[in-house]
Amino acid sequence: MLITLEGIDGAGKTTVLEALSDSHPEACTTREPTTSWYGDAVDRSISSPDSDSLAELFLFIADHADHLSRVVEPALDAGELVISDRYVDSRIAYQGAALNGEVPRPMEYIRGIHTAFTRMPDATIYYDIDPETGAERAGATNKLEHADFLADVHENYERLIDRDPQRFHRIDATRSPEAVIDATEDVLESLL
Protein backbone atom coordinates (compact mmCIF):
# COMPACT_ATOMS: atom_id res chain seq x y z
CA MET A 1 0.00 0.00 0.00
CA LEU A 2 1.20 3.50 -0.88
CA ILE A 3 0.17 6.23 1.55
CA THR A 4 1.17 9.84 0.97
CA LEU A 5 1.34 12.78 3.36
CA GLU A 6 0.28 16.06 1.78
CA GLY A 7 -0.34 19.66 2.76
CA ILE A 8 1.18 23.09 2.45
CA ASP A 9 4.54 23.97 3.97
CA GLY A 10 4.46 24.25 7.74
CA ALA A 11 1.67 21.67 8.18
CA GLY A 12 3.96 19.21 10.00
CA LYS A 13 4.34 16.41 7.46
CA THR A 14 8.05 15.94 8.12
CA THR A 15 7.49 15.69 11.88
CA VAL A 16 4.75 13.12 11.29
CA LEU A 17 6.97 11.09 8.93
CA GLU A 18 9.72 10.97 11.56
CA ALA A 19 7.22 9.67 14.13
CA LEU A 20 5.86 7.10 11.68
CA SER A 21 9.40 5.91 10.93
CA ASP A 22 9.68 5.03 14.62
CA SER A 23 6.21 3.54 15.09
CA HIS A 24 6.21 1.63 11.76
CA PRO A 25 9.80 0.43 11.29
CA GLU A 26 8.58 -2.17 8.81
CA ALA A 27 7.42 0.59 6.44
CA CYS A 28 9.47 2.26 3.75
CA THR A 29 9.32 5.94 4.73
CA THR A 30 10.48 8.34 2.08
CA ARG A 31 10.01 11.87 0.77
CA GLU A 32 10.01 14.12 -2.26
CA PRO A 33 12.09 15.94 -3.25
CA THR A 34 14.50 13.10 -2.62
CA THR A 35 18.12 13.26 -1.51
CA SER A 36 19.29 12.11 -4.96
CA TRP A 37 21.04 14.45 -7.37
CA TYR A 38 17.64 15.03 -8.97
CA GLY A 39 16.31 16.19 -5.61
CA ASP A 40 19.38 18.39 -5.16
CA ALA A 41 18.54 20.06 -8.49
CA VAL A 42 14.99 20.67 -7.26
CA ASP A 43 16.29 22.20 -4.03
CA ARG A 44 18.62 24.51 -5.96
CA SER A 45 15.77 25.58 -8.23
CA ILE A 46 13.31 26.40 -5.44
CA SER A 47 16.04 28.33 -3.63
CA SER A 48 16.47 30.55 -6.68
CA PRO A 49 13.87 33.34 -6.90
CA ASP A 50 14.26 33.65 -10.68
CA SER A 51 14.15 29.98 -11.77
CA ASP A 52 11.78 29.19 -14.61
CA SER A 53 8.54 27.60 -13.34
CA LEU A 54 8.15 25.20 -16.27
CA ALA A 55 11.77 24.04 -16.04
CA GLU A 56 11.30 23.60 -12.30
CA LEU A 57 8.23 21.41 -12.88
CA PHE A 58 10.29 19.06 -15.01
CA LEU A 59 13.03 18.88 -12.36
CA PHE A 60 10.35 17.79 -9.89
CA ILE A 61 9.03 15.24 -12.39
CA ALA A 62 12.52 13.83 -13.02
CA ASP A 63 13.01 13.47 -9.27
CA HIS A 64 9.63 11.74 -8.98
CA ALA A 65 10.39 9.32 -11.82
CA ASP A 66 13.69 8.36 -10.20
CA HIS A 67 12.04 8.04 -6.78
CA LEU A 68 9.32 5.84 -8.23
CA SER A 69 11.71 3.45 -9.99
CA ARG A 70 14.43 3.38 -7.34
CA VAL A 71 12.42 3.41 -4.08
CA VAL A 72 8.62 3.27 -4.33
CA GLU A 73 8.03 0.49 -6.88
CA PRO A 74 10.69 -1.90 -5.48
CA ALA A 75 9.26 -1.49 -1.97
CA LEU A 76 5.69 -2.03 -3.16
CA ASP A 77 6.79 -5.06 -5.22
CA ALA A 78 8.34 -6.48 -2.03
CA GLY A 79 4.98 -6.09 -0.26
CA GLU A 80 6.09 -3.20 1.95
CA LEU A 81 3.97 -0.34 3.20
CA VAL A 82 5.31 2.87 1.62
CA ILE A 83 4.69 6.23 3.31
CA SER A 84 5.88 9.27 1.37
CA ASP A 85 6.15 12.85 2.62
CA ARG A 86 4.91 14.56 -0.58
CA TYR A 87 4.22 12.85 -3.89
CA VAL A 88 2.26 13.64 -7.08
CA ASP A 89 -0.37 15.83 -5.39
CA SER A 90 2.33 18.24 -4.21
CA ARG A 91 3.40 18.88 -7.77
CA ILE A 92 -0.16 19.35 -8.97
CA ALA A 93 -0.92 21.78 -6.12
CA TYR A 94 2.39 23.68 -5.97
CA GLN A 95 3.48 23.74 -9.59
CA GLY A 96 -0.15 24.22 -10.59
CA ALA A 97 -0.02 27.48 -8.63
CA ALA A 98 3.42 28.42 -9.98
CA LEU A 99 2.35 27.83 -13.59
CA ASN A 100 -1.00 29.62 -13.29
CA GLY A 101 -1.16 31.98 -16.26
CA GLU A 102 1.84 30.36 -17.95
CA VAL A 103 0.16 27.23 -19.31
CA PRO A 104 -3.55 26.62 -19.87
CA ARG A 105 -5.19 24.62 -17.05
CA PRO A 106 -1.91 23.90 -15.22
CA MET A 107 -3.29 21.33 -12.76
CA GLU A 108 -4.67 19.21 -15.62
CA TYR A 109 -1.44 19.65 -17.57
CA ILE A 110 0.65 18.34 -14.65
CA ARG A 111 -1.79 15.51 -13.92
CA GLY A 112 -1.61 14.49 -17.59
CA ILE A 113 2.18 14.25 -17.55
CA HIS A 114 2.08 11.96 -14.51
CA THR A 115 -0.68 9.75 -15.89
CA ALA A 116 1.74 8.22 -18.38
CA PHE A 117 4.12 6.77 -15.79
CA THR A 118 3.25 7.20 -12.13
CA ARG A 119 1.49 5.05 -9.58
CA MET A 120 -1.13 6.98 -7.68
CA PRO A 121 -1.40 6.59 -3.89
CA ASP A 122 -3.89 4.22 -2.33
CA ALA A 123 -4.62 6.85 0.33
CA THR A 124 -3.51 10.39 1.08
CA ILE A 125 -3.45 12.02 4.49
CA TYR A 126 -3.94 15.75 4.07
CA TYR A 127 -2.69 18.06 6.82
CA ASP A 128 -4.91 21.11 6.72
CA ILE A 129 -3.55 24.42 7.98
CA ASP A 130 -4.19 28.02 6.95
CA PRO A 131 -1.56 29.60 4.66
CA GLU A 132 -0.52 32.30 7.15
CA THR A 133 0.24 29.79 9.90
CA GLY A 134 1.96 27.47 7.42
CA ALA A 135 4.22 30.27 6.15
CA GLU A 136 5.03 31.35 9.70
CA ARG A 137 5.93 27.80 10.74
CA ALA A 138 7.93 27.15 7.56
CA GLY A 139 9.88 30.37 7.98
CA ALA A 140 9.30 31.54 4.39
CA THR A 141 12.82 30.44 3.47
CA ASN A 142 12.10 30.05 -0.26
CA LYS A 143 9.65 31.32 -2.87
CA LEU A 144 7.22 28.44 -2.28
CA GLU A 145 6.75 29.20 1.43
CA HIS A 146 5.13 32.66 1.35
CA ALA A 147 1.52 33.04 2.54
CA ASP A 148 0.18 34.49 -0.73
CA PHE A 149 1.60 31.61 -2.76
CA LEU A 150 0.54 29.05 -0.14
CA ALA A 151 -3.03 30.39 -0.35
CA ASP A 152 -3.11 29.41 -4.03
CA VAL A 153 -1.58 26.03 -3.21
CA HIS A 154 -4.16 25.49 -0.45
CA GLU A 155 -6.96 26.17 -2.96
CA ASN A 156 -5.40 23.65 -5.36
CA TYR A 157 -5.32 21.00 -2.63
CA GLU A 158 -9.02 21.64 -2.00
CA ARG A 159 -9.67 21.06 -5.71
CA LEU A 160 -7.74 17.79 -5.55
CA ILE A 161 -9.75 16.67 -2.51
CA ASP A 162 -13.03 17.59 -4.22
CA ARG A 163 -11.99 15.53 -7.25
CA ASP A 164 -11.06 12.41 -5.24
CA PRO A 165 -12.67 12.62 -1.78
CA GLN A 166 -12.44 8.88 -1.09
CA ARG A 167 -8.62 8.91 -1.25
CA PHE A 168 -8.04 11.91 1.03
CA HIS A 169 -8.20 11.86 4.82
CA ARG A 170 -8.11 15.36 6.32
CA ILE A 171 -6.33 16.11 9.60
CA ASP A 172 -6.44 19.46 11.38
CA ALA A 173 -2.76 20.43 11.44
CA THR A 174 -3.27 23.47 13.67
CA ARG A 175 -3.26 21.16 16.71
CA SER A 176 -0.18 20.12 18.68
CA PRO A 177 2.32 17.79 16.98
CA GLU A 178 1.32 15.00 19.36
CA ALA A 179 -2.38 15.37 18.48
CA VAL A 180 -1.58 15.40 14.76
CA ILE A 181 0.57 12.28 15.09
CA ASP A 182 -2.16 10.51 17.09
CA ALA A 183 -4.75 11.43 14.45
CA THR A 184 -2.42 10.12 11.74
CA GLU A 185 -1.99 6.82 13.59
CA ASP A 186 -5.78 6.53 13.81
CA VAL A 187 -6.10 7.03 10.04
CA LEU A 188 -3.33 4.51 9.37
CA GLU A 189 -4.99 1.95 11.61
CA SER A 190 -8.24 2.34 9.68
CA LEU A 191 -6.40 1.95 6.36
CA LEU A 192 -4.26 -1.02 7.33
d(CA 60, CA 56): 6
Please answer whether residues 84 and 54 qualify as being in contact, where contact means their C-beta atoms are separated by less than 8 angstroms: no
CATH classification at residue 183: 3.40.50.300
Indicate if the pLDDT at residue 61 is higher than 90. yes
Q: How many domains does the chain have?
A: 1
- Indicate if the pLDDT at residue 134 is higher than 60: yes
Query: Does 11 appear as a known binding residue?
Result: yes
| CA separation for the pair 105, 150 (Å, rounded) | 18
Q: How far apart are CA 131 and CA 152, in angstroms?
A: 9
pLDDT digits (tens, 9 = 90+) for 2-47: 999 999 988 999 999 999 999 999 999 999 999 999 999 999 998 8
Instruction: Flag whether 14 is marked binding.
Output: yes
39 is in an annotated binding site: no
Using the CB atoms, write b or e for 134-146: b if 16+ within 10 Å.
bbebbebebbbbb
143 is in an annotated binding site: no
> Above 70 in pLDDT, residue 140?
no
User: Which of 157, 159, 132 is CA-nearest to residue 146?
Assistant: 132
Mean pLDDT of 69-82: 98
Say whether 139 counts as a known binding-site residue.
no
Average pLDDT over residues 78-99: 96
Domain around 148: 1-189
pLDDT band at 141 (very low <50, low <70, confident <90, very high): low
Q: Is 66 annotated as a binding residue?
A: no
10 annotated as belonging to a binding site for a ligand: yes
pLDDT-derived band of residue 138, with 50, 70 and 90 as boundaries?
Answer: confident
To the question of whether residue 13 is assigned a binding role by annotation, the answer is yes
Residue range 88-112: mean pLDDT, rounded: 95
